[in-house]
Amino acid sequence: MNISKAITAQNRPSMQAGPRNKQKRKKNSNPNKVKGRNNRQVMVRPPSIVMPQTKFRLADCSQNYLKALTNPFQELSDVCTPDQHELPSWKFPTLLRGIMTVGSQGLGYALAGAITQSHDSPSVIFTNGSFVTSSITTDTSTAGVVASNDDQFPYTTAQVTGNALTNCRVVASAIRMRYISSEIKRGGQFLTYRTVTTAPWHNGATSGEIFSNQTTVPYPNNRQWVGVCHQPAVPQDYDYDAGSHQIVPATGQNANLAIIVTGAEVGTQFEWEFIKYHELIPVGNQAIPGLTASHVDMDGLSAIKDVLQTSLRTPSESYYSSAYKAITQLTPDDVSGFVSSVKSGLAFAKLVA
């Protein structure tokens, strides 16, 4: 036997043992080939793309503005109206305080001028212990009806009016009141009332007439602060002008915020506070102190106006939180520069119901 052939045969793999030598076919890796369709390509439609709705966001200046409109009785600085008047301005708050006393008819009140700006003319009209009538008036010639001036405001009426020294606007304001007499005499009811700044107070109105008004909100006398915020509604509320807008006692002009106590014990006392955030610019070459940069956020201003237009709540942190939540639920499409949004108004109404 040939030795070389034997070695070769010994090293050759057996054809009968083990798997077939034939290579297995690879599976079809083309996902577009479908069995039974002659391997035609099938186009796979991509899923539809849904763009997420972008939530609305208030700029920092607009957040401060919203705080001043809804919860002004806190420490806020450099508050301005974020509109198209991007002018350096002097921004500062003033605070008035007083004691209101219920008269002999169980009635007492404090009326405030939301956009008053002078230190020598009335900003608040209220009652003291000499008040004896059953109707509400700003006429200080009536017994027990007295006026309070904003002594913290730096300019007189003459320095503001007629473009004499400065043009002004009130960014935000609010008045609030609470009971401070003995617990055994605590009683009566609060009525808060608000009109636009161009509508004068009607001297001689009764608490019953005020109660029937749709902008009146009643509150129980439970020693908690009760108040009403000014909400800008007409052009003069946003513009700088040359008017001090002080209350005219004889006619009630410019007294558009009111807190009335009715059915209370005669002689009981209530503490009131009236706060305003001012913004001033110089006239011509006149100099005024404290000028700082102002800001513009027209979409934010529009959103705030839309959400607050139906609101009559007392100033508080919860008021701010509810309003801010309603605004952040809007989308940019809901906001259209000073155009009222029914959708946003309904959203806010649901939140505060």
Q: What is the DSSP string of 123-167?
A: EEEEE-TT---SSB---TTSTTEEEEE-TTSSS-HHHHGGGSSEE
Task: Indicate where the chain has its CATH 2.60.120.20 domain(s).
Answer: 87-294
Strands 217-220 and 122-127: unpaired
The whole-chain average pLDDT of the chain stands at 84
What count of other Cβ atoms lies within 10 Å of the Cβ of residue 116? 29
Query: Average pLDDT for residues 172-187, to the nearest whole number?
Result: 96
Share of the chain above pLDDT 70, in %: 79
Using 50, 70 and 90 to split pLDDT, how confident is the model at 187?
A: very high
pLDDT in tens, 219-276: 999 999 999 999 988 888 888 988 889 999 998 989 999 999 999 999 999 999 999 9
Q: What is the pLDDT of residues 206-233, one digit of tens each?
A: 999 999 988 899 999 999 999 999 998 8
Distance in angstroms (rounded) separating the CA atoms of residues 346 and 81: 25
Q: Between 3.40.50.2020, 3.40.50.1400, 2.40.50.140, 2.60.120.20, what CATH number should domain 87-294 receive?
A: 2.60.120.20
Q: What is the C-alpha separation between 255 and 197, in angstroms, rounded? A: 8
Cα distance between residue 128 and residue 177, in whole Å: 14
Q: Region 292-306: what's the mean pLDDT?
A: 90
